[in-house]
A and B are shown apart, each in its own frame.
Chain A
Amino acid sequence: MSTPALDLLDVSKDFGRIIALRKVALRVELGEFVSILGRNGAGKTTLLNIISGISKPSSGKVELFGSDPSDTVNKSKLAVISHEMFLYGNLTAIENLEYYARIYKVPNMKERIESLLHSVELTHRRFDLVNTYSRGMTQRLTIARALLHEPQLLLLDEPFTGLDQHAIGMLTKLLLEQKRQGRTILLTTHDLHIASELSDRYVIIEKHQITHNGPMKDTSPEAIRKKYFSIDTEVATA
């Protein structure tokens, strides 16, 4: 078997007194698209942070492409999209992207930026300060920023929040495109339909542990919702 894109072994994380993850094991093959589902506070974001190397696990082992997540090589293969936009409001779209392009040593900087701005449909606003963007526009620029260096592994933490239907469609298209190119993608979302539409596999985190891990094709969004996210009906109707 080849080295997986991602291999987690008994990863636990606590923030001093708060437990965020307990003994999580997860293996993701190259080119797989995995959705991570779970309620608020389950530990999804923490898990992605550990994978990206931002957070160190309290115990357990994490490997990206067979080595430590904080290796420079791994970092240059990685992209993160989250509710934090990683952009500077006081710079224009172009300036933001040029900054990242320099840091990530993106070849053919100018053309690459132009084509990405085009695909997130921001070309007409490229010389405006990001401050002046709407939330959805910023999110689109965030996506462009993340894809700039052609990352091999994408970690997407609720990337659809704030996007309108059109933009959701645009992002879905971009992600499917990435998947076709063999990129490995991890997605957390509360939208089970999108998750089932995009991913090969889904993982459920409950109370900081992985309680389910299986292929998407055997199930439906409704079944997942029923099984894991049904609010006690008494409460809901009361």
Chain B
Amino acid sequence: MRSRIDKILLTILLIAFLVSLYLVFLWVPQIKASNVSEQIAQKIFYYHVPSAWLGFLAFFIVFVASVAYLWKRERKYELISVASAEIGVLFITLVLITGPIWAKPVWGIWWTWDARLTSSLILWLIYVAFLMLRRYLPDGSKRANLSAVVGILGFVDVPIVYYSIRWWETQHPKAVMASSEGSLAAPMFIAFMFTLATFTLLYIFLMKKRYQLLVLEDQVNKQFKEMELL
């Protein structure tokens, strides 16, 4: 199933990632920081934040596909929601990995039970539970229904989880881009947007492949059944 489109997409992705590495590490001027490791750590921001955004996008797609499934009862929506949940968990996992890598040199600790960190972890747990639920259920319309319900409840929880940080004061850096040093912000913004676009493309590519794989799995199974019936 290696289609031409996939090849083209993959090539673009490869180039885009190289360009993004160049932009982030060589092109954007270094920030002023007390030491080198902190300067390097700051680069993580370009991958950390897009991962978080795409995690949200992925979970939003889970929500939309879940609603669509309950509405139309078509298998494809179920498959889309699964694919997107898996990829969303992947991205949030990246967030949870890159975060501590940044935090260690800057804050001096890997992890703190800070509001933003905690809520990201909770978010991750919600969708891991979603995927676990599917593992525990036999294939069928029951599983599709139940996971769609959880897909909806889970996403409604996302803003609440993030809202809950308002109550706690957070150590987590806020919008870094809104720095008053305007001159620095422009290249940073460009590099950031480019990386974000690259990540979005990565999401689309992964979605496409994962979805195709799930459809293929279905087809193989169906053919097995047809054979058994003969």
Q: Chain A interface (Cβ within 8 Å of chain B)? A: 14-19, 55-56, 58, 207-208
Cβ < 8 Å to A, chain B residues 194-224? 218, 221-222, 224
Q: Which residues of B contact A18 (CB under 8 A)?
A: 139-140, 225
CA A17 to CA B229, docked complex, whole Å: 13
| Contact status B221-A17, CB under 8 Å | yes
| Contact status B138-A19, CB under 8 Å | no
Total number of residue pairs linking A and B with CB closer than 8 Å = 28
* B225 touches which of A17, A55, A56, A58 (Cβ 8 Å): A17
Main secondary structure, interface of B, reads: helix
Q: Chain B interface (Cβ within 8 Å of chain A)? A: 73, 138-141, 143, 218, 221-222, 224-225, 229
| Contact status A15-B139, CB under 8 Å | yes
Specify the chain B residue showing the minimal Cβ separation from A22: B229
Specify the chain A residue showing the minimal Cβ separation from B143: A16
| Contact status B221-A56, CB under 8 Å | no
Q: Which residues of B contact A15 (CB under 8 A)?
A: 138-141
CA A55 to CA B225, docked complex, whole Å: 21
CA A23 to CA B138, docked complex, whole Å: 24
**Residue among A14, A17, A18, A208 with the highest chain B CB neighbour number at 10 A:** A17
Q: Which residues of A contact B140 (CB under 8 A)?
A: 15-16, 18
Q: List 7 A-B contacts (CB under 8 A).
A: A15-B139, A15-B140, A16-B221, A17-B218, A17-B224, A18-B139, A58-B141
CA A17 to CA B225, docked complex, whole Å: 7
Q: Which residues of A contact B224 (CB under 8 A)?
A: 17
A232 to nearest B CB, angstroms? 18
Q: Which residues of B contact A207 (CB under 8 A)?
A: 229
CA A147 to CA B229, docked complex, whole Å: 38
| Contact status A17-B139, CB under 8 Å | yes
Specify the chain A residue showing the minimal Cβ separation from B222: A17
Q: Which residues of A contact B225 (CB under 8 A)?
A: 14, 17-19
List 15 additional A-B contacts (Cβ < 8 Å) besides A17-B222, A18-B139, A207-B229.
A14-B225, A15-B139, A15-B140, A16-B138, A16-B140, A16-B143, A16-B218, A17-B218, A17-B221, A17-B225, A18-B140, A18-B225, A19-B225, A19-B229, A208-B229
**Residue among A16, A18, A55, A208 with the highest chain B CB neighbour number at 10 A:** A16
A208 to nearest B CB, angstroms? 8
* A56 touches which of B73, B138, B218, B229 (Cβ 8 Å): B73
Q: Which residues of B contact A19 (CB under 8 A)?
A: 225, 229
CA A207 to CA B140, docked complex, whole Å: 19
Specify the chain B residue showing the minimal Cβ separation from A58: B141
Q: Which residues of A contact B143 (CB under 8 A)?
A: 16
CA A49 to CA B143, docked complex, whole Å: 17
